[in-house]
A and B are shown apart, each in its own frame.
Chain A
Amino acid sequence: MGRRGPALLAALAVVALAVGCTSTKSGSEESTGDGKTKIGLVTKTDSNPYFVALRDAAKAEADKNGAELVALAGKFDGDNDGQVAAIENLVQQGAKTILVTPNNSTGILGAIKKARDRGVLVIALDTETDPQDAVDATIATDNTNAGRLQGQYVKAALNGQPARSILLDGTPGSTVSEQRHAGFVEAAQPENLGTEATNGEQNKAQQATENLLQRATTVNSIYTLNEPAARGAYSALKAKGLADRVVIGSIDGSCDGVEAVKSGEIAVTVMQFPKKMAEQGVRFAVEFAKSGKKPTGFVETETAVITDKPLAGIDSEDTAWGLENCWG
């Protein structure tokens, strides 16, 4: 055996690779009946609970309709290259419809165009493309409006005091982040005490708030793009003993987020409904497979203001309702 060791090892590696591929393939074959409509889903990442909820809802809806869902994702926020490859690979394997949450509103237009040129129905979920008509249809929250709703509540909660706000954004350059921010600013008209990109991460949001609080001592409100950012902001405020005098607003509607509203860490959150986006997208795909009818335009999924301190003139639901309807 002696000198053949390395060759053997190499051969083993190759065999393991080959066996690995064939065996997993045979496993998946059982669930893949022929003739099923194939629907592709490309999310920004597969680690964010929001996209996991969206994917699971799409899968359930596809199963219900006898369609097959193939879910792919980028590896990180901003992975345009990965999303382009995912779209190409879905087209190759014969997906009739591709649902995509673009990482960047202009980043993957080329791949989308190629897919559409081949007759594939492409629907943007959650995040718009720029221009919007680069896809057949868009199903999303009106993110500017979500920011506006947060701003209206925060303004009302301040009881006539002008808003002096810290603004915690998402990933630099993200469309969703910019729209929510603009909506909040429009409705609350805050004095801006500092804007930071948090990538929607609790750690970064906490650090950013800690640092901004060093100089922004007059703060009375914090805008946050999502609930992890809101929780990070709360930790920083609490450590400084400021939690009672600052109104934190947020957007998303995760179950953790609603819990944070219930416990009083966050004053308000604007819930969105990713499951409904996914279900609607799959229904469009099924309809397209049956009749060839393509949906068009912007389909808005609703939002709900969640708070346990309802204010006059603002439609809201309490956290009990929120916990029943949160997405994960």
Chain B
Amino acid sequence: MTTRVSPSEFILRTPAIGPAIALVVAVVVFGLTTDTFFNVDNLSLVVQQSLVIGTLALGQTLVILTAGIDLANAAIAVLSTLLIAKLTINGTDAPIALVVGIVAAALIGAVTGGLVTGLRLPPFIVTLGLLTIVTAASRLYAQGQSFPVTDPTLGWLGTTQYLFGQIEVTYGMAVMLAMFVGLWYALTKTAWGKHVYAVGNDPEAARLSGIHVRRTVLSVYVVAGLCYGIAAWQALGRVPNADPNAFQLGNLDSITAVVIGGTSLFGGRGSVLGTLVGALIVAVLRSGLTQAGIDNLYQDVATGALVIAAVAVDRFSRGRQR
């Protein structure tokens, strides 16, 4: 194949390319302007710092690919951490508590999907309502307390190992990588993945071509819920303490990662690779700007500008397409 591909077509086909370039540029710039950014353990930390939001964002990506949005994802993960921690503290075996927490998250995902498909309610409204309900449920369940956990199973994802005696890696990174590969495969190589994209692109056309739209959307919310449950496990690995006040901005942070990663809010276009890159960009900005001695708040300014730039690129390339 030697067909000439114009730049706009190239971006359209591989929406992760822009964010990937931005990531590389940011890493190089911070590496050159600070003494400490390129330290191996610093680079490892940047990845560790992106794990929770990154995992939430993987679920969020699936939902956004169907032209939905999930405002409740971080709240679900927080409830899940509370379930896991409180059950364990009250004497349940940690692995069982863990499974209960993750399954609970998937069940809430099923409820979300059920409301979106069964009652045909807009995902924004359904998840806004669930955000409030789940947050309240967490507070009721926690009774104003937070729950420190010491069980090694619960903190397992935060355990560090050294590759080549040098590079600090955690099991959390491995799980993130495995989830990414699994979802990438499911989205690009299976019929289910093609259905997800088709439904997000044009649900009517998808229905006419024989795709079971509602079942596909429902399954997306369940898988997303599973991701949030695993995010809860990741969160306990990072901070071994289930706190009902944690991750209040996790929903927006995960949407930020997805959007910076080039996935279109209009649905049907994007990739989990982009989301991974998006989550890393946010962590790189935070770490790099801190090490360059720049006020915390400029990180937010930079992130906000990237969100707008990313959507502008998406919009522009779509415009060209027509």
Is B45 among interface residues, defined by CB-CB distance under 8 A? yes
What is the interface of chain B mostly: helix, strand, loop, or mixed? Answer: helix
Is A152 among interface residues, defined by CB-CB distance under 8 A? no
CB neighbours (8 Å) of B11 from chain A are: 6-7, 10
CB neighbours (8 Å) of A109 from chain B are: 148, 240-241
Q: In residues 1-45 of chain B, which contact A (Cβ within 8 Å)?
A: 6-8, 10-12, 18, 21-22, 25-26, 29-30, 33-34, 36, 39, 41-42, 45
Is B91 among interface residues, defined by CB-CB distance under 8 A? no
Q: Determine if A93 and B18 form an interchain contact, defined as CB atoms under 8 angstroms apart.
A: no
0/1 interface trace, chain A 29-60, chain B, CB 8 Å (1 if under): 00010000000000000100000000000000
Q: Which of B33, B142, B291 sits near A89, CB closer than 8 Å? A: B291
Is B322 among interface residues, defined by CB-CB distance under 8 A? no
Q: Determine if B296 and A72 form an interchain contact, defined as CB atoms under 8 angstroms apart.
A: yes
The smallest beta-carbon distance between A6 and chain B, in angstroms, is 4
A14 to B309, CA, bound (A): 9
The smallest beta-carbon distance between B197 and chain A, in angstroms, is 21
A104 to B247, CA, bound (A): 13
Chain B interface residue count, Cβ-Cβ cutoff 8 angstroms: 66
Is B144 among interface residues, defined by CB-CB distance under 8 A? yes
CB neighbours (8 Å) of B243 from chain A are: 78, 80, 104, 107, 173
CB neighbours (8 Å) of B287 from chain A are: 85, 89, 92
Is B313 among interface residues, defined by CB-CB distance under 8 A? yes
Q: Determine if B294 and A24 form an interchain contact, defined as CB atoms under 8 angstroms apart.
A: yes
The smallest beta-carbon distance between B322 and chain A, in angstroms, is 13
- Could you say which of A15-23, A136-144, A211-219 contacts chain B? A15-23
Q: Determine if B316 and A81 form an interchain contact, defined as CB atoms under 8 angstroms apart.
A: no
The smallest beta-carbon distance between B297 and chain A, in angstroms, is 7
Q: Determine if A107 and B146 form an interchain contact, defined as CB atoms under 8 angstroms apart.
A: yes
The answer to whether A197 and B144 touch (CB under 8 A), given A7-B11, A17-B26, is yes
* 5 closest A-B pairs by CB: A78-B245, A172-B144, A7-B7, A13-B309, A89-B290
Identify 11 new A-B residue pairs, CB closer than 8 A, beyond the known A6-B12, A21-B288: A4-B6, A6-B7, A13-B22, A16-B305, A79-B246, A80-B246, A104-B243, A106-B148, A107-B146, A110-B158, A173-B145
